[in-house]
Amino acid sequence: MSYKKDMSKYEHLEGWERCGFGEQLDKWAEKYGERTAVTDSEDEISYMELKQKADCLAAAFLRKGILKGDKVLVQLPNRISFVIVFFALSKIGAVPIMMLPAHREAELEGIIELAKPAAYIVVEKYLGFSYVPMANAMKEKYSCIRHIFVDSESGDISGMIAETCGENGAFPAVDGYETAVLLLSGGTTGVPKLIPRTHTDYMYNARMSAKRCRLDSSDVYLASLPVAHNFPLCCPGLLGTLEVGGKVVLASATSPDDILDAITEEGVTITALVPAMVTVCMEMLEWDEDYDISSLRILQVGGAMLEDSLADKIIEEWPCKLMQVFGTAEGLLSFTSPEDEGSLIARCQGTPVSPADEVKIVDEEDKAVPEGVFGELLSRGPYTIDGYYMAEEANKKSFTPDGFYRTGDKAMWTKDRRLRLGGRIKEQINRAGEKIMPSEIEAYLCRHSKIKEAAVVGVPDETLGNRICAFLVTDDEAGIDLQEIHRFLREIGVAAYKMPDQIERVETWPLTSVGKIDKKALERMAQGK
């Protein structure tokens, strides 16, 4: 029998409330009424309107036959409809699966097979891609998908809201300990992993993050990362900002000018970026003096290793506090504090956000390592999951028998009792904050007729953190170039962020002493090119 988390253990915690997101929204609407809750590039919505629209859409979903407990694929970019859809599904106890706009057929299929969603909600078009044909193809292939709802100017979602307004009846009761969302885990090994977060633990996650950021109703939070990701959704992100009555600005794209424009125009006080985005924003600021980022109070940086030199540069050049954020969709969050000294902020990822977080750093035999020594970071606690969704085998590997999540990250305790991350132990590539599992890309590559074998490694890269390099054994005379690989991967429906940045052909593999492909040697080879 695997370890099962006992939620009652956490009921004494400040910020822990057994309540669903739907009910939560009602409380916010009551408290913050006509204040602006969310703005996007086209519109804005108050807390009260958000509640009303979520109620209407929830009633419409029920009418269409979406039931409590149904899983629903949600693939929407950063826009107000995302927020309405999230709360509407929560109100009826349906569970959104947080797809990213970048995902394509290859990612969708694995998840549909695992979670059997009853519906699929897509944006009509975003960044030049039309989602409806892809959604229809999925519906055709998988009979579990009974409905496609399209979010467009005049499409299903707005129509459904308009149609049912004023007639919302009773919604099914939702318990705070039920699953609220299924988040995507970074990097899968072919079989995707979904992360079930309950209403209560996820809202606690948001509250503890907001508390560490000293967030209040005067704050303006900018979500420029895709808001379906845990970082901008809940750390404190969208949900943490709504909790305190602040305003959320949704930026529709992640380019530096979009980010800097939004900060300048909206008076943004806090935002979250991955290191690669900070670098490009800094470059932009250097040659364009029209931006005004003086409203910023906190810049959260996380999702990937932040180089010491970049941390120093942010502290020196940005008119705000840097907050280093180590986070996982599985739960554990560790942030620096706004009150910490700059020198401390630059060299660590702070402390866990909840007093009830249990963190261990262990060696290969799961024994605790001393301060100052790297080991694997393990965590258990109020908002850390005790298992992936329907994944008994994966859970045996990813959790200890007493319920600690194995992050696969190298970390140490510093002498000031702060966490300092040191890269990955598990084989996973972190490319500009996106997590990619080499084995997944290897499997895709081997579906190409010219490729006999493939090995994928991450190679340190100044801008991306890591770039993806694919080593290939191909049929002798058949040449293959990067363009062809990209075309092929696009055709089979692989997300763009997983495309190799570099390919190298090999005749034979370098092998380790036990005869496995020596990936360390491949990394060195790729670096030399």
301 token code pair:
């940086």
Interface pick for ligand OOB out of 349, 351, 384, 474 (rule CB under 6 A): 349
What are residue 103's phi and psi, to 5 degrees? -70, 145
Interface pick for ligand OOB out of 53, 197, 199, 424 (rule CB under 6 A): 424
- How many degrees, rounded to 5, is the angle at CA 125 between CA 52 and CA 251? 60
Interface pick for ligand OOB out of 81, 198, 407, 466 (rule CB under 6 A): 407
Nearest to 89 by CA among 75, 70, 117: 70
Q: Which is nearer to ligand OOB, 61 or 405 (CB)?
A: 405
Q: Which is nearer to ligand OOB, 297 or 424 (CB)?
A: 424
Q: Which is nearer to ligand OOB, 221 or 326 (CB)?
A: 326
CA distances from 14 to 200, 354, 356, 413 (A): 12, 10, 10, 26
Could you tell me which residues come within 8 angstroms of residue 21 by beta carbon, excluding any fewer than 6 positions away?
86, 87, 90, 91, 180, 199, 202, 203, 239
Interface pick for ligand OOB out of 49, 107, 201, 409 (rule CB under 6 A): 409
**C-beta separation of 430 from 458 below 8 A:** yes
Angle between helices 47-63 and 156-164 (to 10 degrees): 100
Which residues in 222-251 contact ligand OOB (CB under 6 A)?
230-231, 235
Q: Does 406 bind ligand OOB (CB under 6 A)?
A: no
Nearest to 436 by CA among 402, 477, 412, 470: 470
Interface pick for ligand OOB out of 303, 438, 458, 500 (rule CB under 6 A): 303
Interaction mask 122-141, ligand OOB, x per CB under 6 A: --------------------
**C-beta separation of 50 from 37 below 8 A:** yes
Residue nearest ligand OOB, Cβ-based: 327
Q: From CA 487, how far away is CA 498, in angstroms rounded?
A: 13
Q: Does 102 bind ligand OOB (CB under 6 A)?
A: no
DSSP state of 8: G
Q: Does 357 bind ligand OOB (CB under 6 A)?
A: no
Which residues in 304-333 contact ligand OOB (CB under 6 A)?
304-305, 324-329
Q: From CA 93, how far away is CA 58, in angstroms rounded?
A: 10
Q: Does 421 bind ligand OOB (CB under 6 A)?
A: yes
Return the C-alpha torsion angle 347, 204, 92, 144, nearest 10. Answer: 40
Token pair 């300092």: residue: 420
57, containing H or E segment: helix 47-63
Shortest distance (Å) from residue 52 CB to ligand OOB: 31
Q: Which is nearer to ligand OOB, 231 or 388 (CB)?
A: 231
Nearest to 15 by CA among 510, 357, 458, 435: 357
**C-beta separation of 378 from 365 below 8 A:** no
Which residues in 176-195 contact ligand OOB (CB under 6 A)?
186
Interaction mask 204-223, ligand OOB, x per CB under 6 A: --------------------
Q: Which is nearer to ligand OOB, 107 or 409 (CB)?
A: 409
Shortest distance (Å) from residue 301 CB to ligand OOB: 7
Shortest distance (Å) from residue 240 CB to ligand OOB: 11
How many residues in the shown chain lie near ligand OOB by CB under 6 A? Answer: 21
Shortest distance (Å) from residue 64 CB to ligand OOB: 32
Find the part of the chain contacting ligand OOB (CB under 6 A) among 44-52, 144-152, 259-267, 302-310.
Answer: 302-310
Q: Which is nearer to ligand OOB, 372 or 422 (CB)?
A: 422
Q: Does 378 bind ligand OOB (CB under 6 A)?
A: no
- The alpha helices in 461-518, defined as continuous H runs, are 482-491
Q: Give the binding site for ligand OOB (CB under 6 A).
A: 186, 230-231, 235, 302-305, 324-329, 349, 407, 409, 421, 424, 430, 435
